[in-house]
Amino acid sequence: MTHAGKSKAVRGIFYFIVLIIVMIQIYPIFWVICSSLKTSEEMTYTAQYALPSSFYLGNYISALTISAIPRYFLNSTIVAVLTLLGIVVLGCPVAFVISKVKIKHADALMGFFLFGMMIPIFACLIPMFQIYNALGLRNTYWALVLPQVGFGLPMCIYLYTGFFKFLPDSLLEAAVIDGAGMGTVFWKIVVPMAKNTTMTVLTYNFVFVWNEFTYANTFISSSEMKTLPIGLNDFVGQFGRVDWGSTFAAIVISILPTLIVYFILNKNIIEGMAAGAVKS
């Protein structure tokens, strides 16, 4: 994408704006890292925007000793992977049937699933607790995965149907004429073409699944099953006094791997998204 007619000045201003935004977006993580390197004395007695005076690692040590961050990280990862898989594996076929297969009541089915988007999760907390408790699912990964899959499905189906709308019917019909069944058409043609949408669905849901707090707090009580957002509460002391140093250290420990993974996958994510983003 070249813009031959642009003067250098315009280009300069453009990069200046980009730089400012980068600084704004990067500031929180910079701030968290700085704060995690401060001693508690420093936290109290210096301005919160001051840089740390030394490279103090005590917060990291206490974060890792007070709470089992690696364990929480593993739990969060397992829950995220299962949830994302569940959403895509269950949601994509439904969207396919709704938009590409001639069935009765497709509209009603779509409406039924979209209804879930309107429901605030807290509304369901008490019934859910009673159901999962009766089924013996408390303190299992399923108690976290199932509701998130259920509540993730509407948006997933919505995004997929948005894409399938633009998938030419002729393409599918041609395959059917060649003798392909519905399963083959779905797995061999539709799924690969929807790669981009899949990436959108995954990215969108990952953000929410990774930070999910309510279900984890409600359904999990064993410390071996805690997820990261719950784990951050390990540092709240008496009468609401929070050990912020350790909390920030824990946040840094929990963000970095995510950022690294995201950085590596990022190219694929965007390419995937771009390749399949709604063509019109």
Answer for the pair 171, 252: CB distance below 8 angstroms, yes or no: no
Among positions 14-53, residues that touch other proteins (CB under 8 A) are 14, 17-18, 21-22, 24-26, 28-29, 31-32, 43-45, 47-49
Q: Is 67 in the site for other proteins (CB under 8 A)?
A: yes
- H helix runs in 37-68, sequence order: 40-45, 58-66
Other C-beta atoms closer than 10 Å to the C-beta of 163 total 23
Q: Where are the alpha helices (DSSP H) in 37-102?
A: 40-45, 58-66, 69-100
| Residue of 48, 99, 37, 88 whose CA lies nearest to 246 | 37
Residue of 33, 66, 74, 193 interacting with other proteins (CB under 8 A): 66
CB-nearer residue toward other proteins: 157 or 194: 157
Write the DSSP symbol of residue 150.
H
Q: Which residue among 63, 153, 194, 253 contacts other proteins (CB under 8 A)?
A: 153
Q: Which of the residues 210 through 239 are near other proteins (CB under 8 A)?
A: 210-211, 213, 217-218, 221-225, 228-229, 232-239
**Smallest distance, other proteins to C-beta of residue 227, A:** 11
Q: Judged by CB under 8 A, how many residues of this single chain contact other proteins?
A: 146
**Binders in 175-214 for other proteins, by CB under 8 A:** 176, 181-183, 185-188, 196, 200, 203-204, 207, 210-211, 213
Please tell me the distance from the alpha carbon of residue 253 to that of residue 25, in angstroms, as a whole number: 19
For the bound state, the minimum distance from the C-beta of residue 130 to other proteins, rounded and expressed in Å, comes to 5
To other proteins, the closest distance from the beta carbon of 7 in angstroms equals 13
Q: Determine the straight-line distance between the first and last CA of the chain, rounded to whole angstroms.
A: 20
Cβ 276 to other proteins, closest distance in Å? 8
CB atoms within 10 A of CB 119: 12
Q: For other proteins, give the closer residue by CB, 73 or 138.
A: 138
Rounded to a whole number of angstroms, the minimum distance from the CB of residue 55 to other proteins is 21
Site for other proteins in 69-98 (CB under 8 A): 85-86, 89-91, 93-94, 96-98
- Return the DSSP state at 236: B
Q: What is the footprint of other proteins within residues 109-148 (CB under 8 A)?
A: 109-111, 113-120, 122-131, 133, 135-142, 145-147
Burial of 227 (0-12, 13-18, 19+ CB in 10 A): buried
CA dist., res. 226 & res. 221, Å (int):
7
Rounded to a whole number of angstroms, the minimum distance from the CB of residue 152 to other proteins is 10
DSSP state of 187: I
What sections of the chain are H helices per DSSP? 8-36, 40-45, 58-66, 69-100, 106-114, 125-134, 141-164, 169-177, 182-184, 191-193, 195-210, 214-219, 228-231, 244-276
By beta-carbon proximity to other proteins, the closer residue of 77 and 140 is 140
Q: Which is nearer to other proteins, 24 or 54 (CB)?
A: 24
> Of 56 and 258, which CB lies nearer to other proteins in the complex structure?
258
Residue 118 Cβ, how far from other proteins at the closest point, in Å?
4
